[in-house]
Structure 1
Amino acid sequence: MPEPMAVPSPTAKPARVAVAAPLEEVSKPASKPVSKSLSANKPAPVAKTAVAPATSKPESEAAGSISGSVKLAAGQGQSVSAGEVSEGLVYFLPKAGNPKPKPGRFVINTRSKGFVPETLVVPQGSTVRFPNVDTIIHNVYSRSPGNSFDLGYYAPGKSPEYTFNTAGLAIVNCTVHHTMRANVVVLATPYYARPGKDGRYQIKDVPPGPGTLVFWHPRAVAKSIQANAPLAASATQTLVASKSPQMH
């Protein structure tokens, strides 16, 4: 059985709010004697108050991005198809101030004795439905730590679901068809991106500060580097395909 991928669980990020510097009062100059020729109802001079400009940058300016490229190289006895690198994932785990991602609802179909899609990235706490769109019975289960479940055997048209509450890699299989496999990557961070077929990626709106940048692909061993966001240069990484492509 494939080993689960450990994913660190970061903490929440406080909102950045621009705060104006305190007001500074300007001393009122000493009053000069008022000439008797002045009108008695003319108001006396009023001291002016100066407002210091805000020194903090708005959040839109403080946030940056992390971009670069990923390459999937063929390991010993392996081959890599063009564009296969797009099945991977790049995500950033801030050392501090990481907000909890908003859970959602997602779908993985059981079709033609396979899972579609084979790789799904979801925020921690999300629910995934597994509709049976085949004409045969399926069973969907996982033995991954923290996300172990068994939806049992179910007929075409049925759509059981499961909520993934633990961050990490959940490997999903089918008891009826042993070659069926899906990778559900459960993230405890909102900062991630899927690379394109050319391997390029961009993670937007990353808060400034140190953290861990992780490169993952279902056919390779994940790699991570320490990074200080936003990055002034591109972050590139090569992953070596040591596992065979998923078959169904």
Structure 2
Amino acid sequence: MRYLIALMLFLSLPNAWAEVTLTVLDQDNLPVADAVITVPNQSMSTPDKIAVMDQIDESFVPRVLVVQKGQYVSFPNSDDIRHHVYSFSKPKSFEIKLYKGTEIAPILFDEPGLVVLGCNIHDDMIGYIIVADNALAFKTDENGQVNLPVKKGDTVSLWTERTLQGINAALPITITGEEEQRITMELLPPPLDMMDHGSMTKGFGKSKWSY
């Protein structure tokens, strides 16, 4: 919903095409959820809304969160146990020491890039925040699908934690102009914790982000 206004404005521009439904599949023809598609040439203002990266059942929820540069993110802990959230990523290095509940103030993410999250208490807790550089960015759903406001010949970038060449890589995708476009990628298997939570979601191309 946070991109709805920007999407409507874009579709009203001259020469804009209708939405393209992009479906991302792995080599086993399974949908890739939580892949982030960025439309570099379409600007997006920073939302006033505070984004939320929760902690539920010893997992970051959502596993992948997309925000805009300059947006705040809150980190509530909905578990009955304490967590110790941290990141060493270059766009945003921070630490929230042992806590639970919602008493922690939101954190500003003011540099674009990939932020990898961990928990000092639970080593298997991994989450990702993609900080878009005020560009339209969308996330594929559980069916590996996303609707994009693009036209034929546009190039978008695709990121998923499962790419073969590393977590920092992004794959350029050229839009064919068809109403529905399918992309099949050779990927690493989904992490076990993703499969446990019903999400079937190292990269192709030149690395865009560092952490």
- Spell out, residue by residue over 1:176-197, the C-alpha distance to the aligned partner (whole angstroms, 9 max, x if none): 1111111111112442333343
- Spell out, residue by residue over 1:98-153, the C-alpha distance to the aligned partner (whole angstroms, 9 max, x if none): 43432331111112211111111111111111111222221111111121111222
1:211 CA drift (Å): 5.3
For 1:130-145, list aligned pairs within 5 A: 130-145=75-90
TM-score by length of 2: 0.70
Point out where structure 1 has 5 or more consecutive residues left out of the alignment: 1-14, 17-57, 75-79
- Spell out, residue by residue over 1:134-175, the C-alpha distance to the aligned partner (whole angstroms, 9 max, x if none): 222211111111211112222345334311111111111111
- Spell out, residue by residue over 1:68-106, the C-alpha distance to the aligned partner (whole angstroms, 9 max, x if none): 3211225xxxxx9x54x1221222112xxx434323311
**Which is greater in Rg?**
1
CA separation in 2, counterparts of 1:190 and 1:63?
16
For 1:1-248, list aligned pairs within 5 A: 59-64=12-17, 65-73=19-27, 83=31, 85-94=32-41, 98-103=42-47, 104-204=49-149, 206=150, 212-221=155-164, 222-225=170-173, 232-233=177-178, 234-242=180-188, 244-245=190-191, 247=193
TM-score by length of 1: 0.61
Return closer, same or farther for 1:153/1:197 CA change in 2, 3 Å cut-off: closer
Identical columns (%): 24
CA separation in 2, counterparts of 1:155 and 1:201?
34
How many residues of Structure 1 are paired with residues of Structure 2 in the alignment? 178
Secondary structure of 2:193's counterpart equals coil
Match of 2:6 in 1: none
Contact conserved, 2:69 with 2:109, CA < 8 A, in 1? yes
In the TM superposition, structure 1's runs of 4+ consecutive aligned residues that sit over 4 Å from their partners are 208-211
